Amino acid sequence: MAKPDIHPKWYPEAKVYCNGQVVMTVGSAKPELHVDVWSGNHPFYTGTQKIIDTEGRVERFLRKYGMAEGQPTGGRKKK
């Protein structure tokens, strides 16, 4: 049982706003929550995320660890 006068007021149906629109309701200690990103507009969850390799990171990784085209993969070097 909650002790009196120590817990904040609980709002079981607090509204979550994103870009001025109500996107969901949740339980919260605040009656309204304003967010910039939520699962409905985040690229990861909407499937529009793009992986951009602007600095050639993949190629650099492959060269560094000897997995570039034409090179043997893995194993130990012979002495």
Percent residues over pLDDT 90 in the chain:
30
Mean pLDDT, residues 28-35 taken together: 95
Average pLDDT for the chain: 81
Distance CA 72, CA 37 (A): 45
How many folded domains does the chain comprise?
Answer: 1
* Between 28 and 38, the higher pLDDT residue: 28
Query: What mean pLDDT comes out for the span 10-29?
Result: 94
d(CA 5, CA 23): 32
Does 77 reside within a domain? no
Report yes or no on whether pTM surpasses 0.75: no
pLDDT at position 41 is 84
CATH number for 34: 4.10.80
pLDDT at 11 over 60: yes
